[in-house]
Amino acid sequence: MEIDEELVRRLVDEQFPQWRELSIRRVVPGGWDNRTFRLGNELLVRMPSADGYAAAVAKEQRWLPVIAPRVPLAVPSPVALGSPTSEFPRPWSVYRWIDGTPLGDATHIDLQALAADLAGFLTSLAKVETDAAPAAAPHSFWRGAHPRVYDDDVQRCLTELEGRIDTAAARAVWDAAMETEITAPPVWFHGDIAPGNLLVREGRLSAVIDFGTSGVGDPACDLAIAWTVFDDAVREVFRSRMPWDDDTWSRGRAWALWKTMLTLADPSNTHDPEAEARASLAVLDRVLA
């Protein structure tokens, strides 16, 4: 199914005629799980790109208004819920537009300050009440669970990447995390703390977006950025401002390893396979150091 401006125009006109006069412009890149379109100057439309991502719509609509007043940075604010139709058989959302530049496109960033701000955000997120909140499950692609749920993936990648990476070191990192258990009470996690979901304004972290893989469980998945983006010095700033124990950090490192090896084993599912492969090798160096 092609999700383009014409489809969004029809859906908006049919379901929200008050916005009939607003322009629709595709946001590029629009993300993997959703296609994103700007609606006028103050709104955006998010359309799940596949059925497997549709469950996130109701979750975000329900829980983002709960999370927003309890965290120190901006998060998406739902404005309307679009209904499935015969033409587009998934729910979809309208949000307020948040100005900002994705971290991956930003320049002149003080990463140590950003790491401190992100740590403050995640610590506040972990304090949001969890009653009736969604536990780690397929809706979060098992973010918030123990990373051992992806052990089969890792073992396959270790076999496929033999001779290309230091598989002995990778196995040691993975095995160390597999020996840990989750002992702390479940807390809110974001599930996809990545450069595309961190918005920057005037050189500082200003917003965290895309809560499609969020839920309640083990926060280790949100620590992967300590290796996927941060160097040693920035990682130390990030870690020093977080309350998690060594076992949680070990699992966070394992999440970074899992994702990085998946990309190295099959970069074809990325926007730019060659660039992603090069970036993944750099990440792997940090994970295995």
pLDDT tens-digit profile of 116-148?
A: 999 999 999 999 999 999 999 999 999 999 999
pLDDT in tens, 276-288: 889 999 999 999 9
Q: Chain-centre distance of CA 263, in angstroms?
A: 16
Give the pLDDT band of residue 273 (cuts 50, 70, 90).
Answer: confident
| Residues 107 and 159 placed together within one structural domain of the fold | yes
Final residue in a domain of this structure, among 96, 123, 140: 96
Mean pLDDT of 86-97: 98
| Residues 46 and 149 placed together within one structural domain of the fold | no
| Residues 72 and 107 placed together within one structural domain of the fold | no
| Residues 229 and 91 placed together within one structural domain of the fold | no
Mean pLDDT of 101-106: 95
CA-CA distance, 269 to 74, in Å (whole number)?
30
| Residues 84 and 107 placed together within one structural domain of the fold | no
- Please tell me the predicted confidence (pLDDT) of residue 63: 99
Sheet holding 101-102, edge to edge: 101-102, 198-201, 204-208
Strand partners, 91: none
Give the pLDDT band of residue 274 (cuts 50, 70, 90).
Answer: confident
| Residues 157 and 267 placed together within one structural domain of the fold | yes
| Residues 230 and 251 placed together within one structural domain of the fold | yes
CA distances from 17 to 11, 13, 20, 21 (A): 9, 5, 5, 8
- Please tell me the predicted confidence (pLDDT) of residue 29: 77
Secondary structure (3-state) at 81: strand
Please count the other Cβ atoms lying within 10 Å of the Cβ belonging to residue 89. Answer: 10
Domain count across the chain? 2
Sheet holding 78-82, edge to edge: 24-26, 34-39, 43-48, 92-96, 78-82
| Residues 214 and 115 placed together within one structural domain of the fold | yes
Q: What CATH number corresponds to the domain at position 135?
A: 3.90.1200.10
CA atoms within 13 A on the CB side of 142: 10
Task: Quote the domain boundaries for residue 91.
Answer: 5-96
pLDDT in tens, 213-260: 999 999 999 999 999 999 999 999 999 999 999 999 999 999 999 999
Q: What percent of the chain has pLDDT over 70?
A: 99
pLDDT in tens, 15-71: 999 999 999 999 987 778 999 999 999 999 999 999 999 999 999 999 999 999 999
| Residues 150 and 281 placed together within one structural domain of the fold | yes
| Residues 79 and 106 placed together within one structural domain of the fold | no
- Please tell me the predicted confidence (pLDDT) of residue 269: 67
Final residue in a domain of this structure, among 39, 61, 96: 96
Final residue in a domain of this structure, among 74, 96, 118: 96
CA-CA distance, 249 to 276, in Å (whole number)?
24
| Residues 24 and 118 placed together within one structural domain of the fold | no
| Residues 81 and 130 placed together within one structural domain of the fold | no
Closest CA to 242 of 260, 226, 258, 259: 226
